[in-house]
Amino acid sequence: MSGLREMFEAREGEQRLDDDPATMPPDGGVIFIGSIASPWTTRESCPKNMRAARETGQPALLTIDPPYRDGLRGLERASHIVILSWLHHAPRNLIVQKPRHAAEAKGVFGLRSPARPNPVGLHVAKLVGLDIGTGRIELDAIDVLDGTPVIDIKPYYASTDAWPEATIEGRDEPGRTGP
């Protein structure tokens, strides 16, 4: 994984924060509750989003650490779950970024880039299996590097989380793939 941070090379139009959130005094602390085992060990091979991850046909395994396993009781009722990951390899000071192949630089909050002031990744996955005793959660797919820490799991509620009519102006949305 060494050199990964350097791979976020400078691109035209990018802006960096004067104070790097990675080295500022934090306002709050996160603890890792588990980690993700994925087939992806390099940034090049890692799918860029959950749709691309699903299209590979590769499942993923999330393991929750022993102290937190009782917290999984009842999660088995959910067909889909939200995973919040901690994308600890990404730089945190790129406030305006130019995605590869993008025409112009964009603000980080208009992107799903892993490089953000607080490197929290949001992933909605299908819950394929759950074993509370071993803390193993089987997912249909994941779009993060092997070994990525996890900071939260939530049940996905269609009533508040599903907005199929949501749009991004000017973005080509070739239609959602099935579950």
Looking at residue 147, its amino acid is: G
Tokens for 108, please give them.
């980080």
Render the burial of 26-57: b for 16+ CB within 10 Å, e for the rest.
eeeeeeebbbbebbbeebeebbeebeebbeee
Minimum distance from CB of 25 to a copy of itself (Å)? 8
Report the SS3 class of residue 170.
coil
Residue whose C-alpha is closest to residue 117's, from 18, 31, 34, 33:
18
What residues from 88 to 117 belong to the interface with a copy of itself (CB under 8 A)? 88, 95-96, 105-112, 116-117
* Residues 69-88: x where in contact with a copy of itself by CB under 8 A, - otherwise, as a string: -xxxxxxxxxxx-x-x-x-x
For a copy of itself, which residue of 3, 57, 133, 179 counts as binding (CB under 8 A)? 179
What residues from 14 to 73 belong to the interface with a copy of itself (CB under 8 A)? 15, 17-19, 21, 24-33, 49-51, 64, 67-68, 70-73
* Residues 138-167: x where in contact with a copy of itself by CB under 8 A, - otherwise, as a string: -----------x-xxxxxxxxxxxxxxxxx
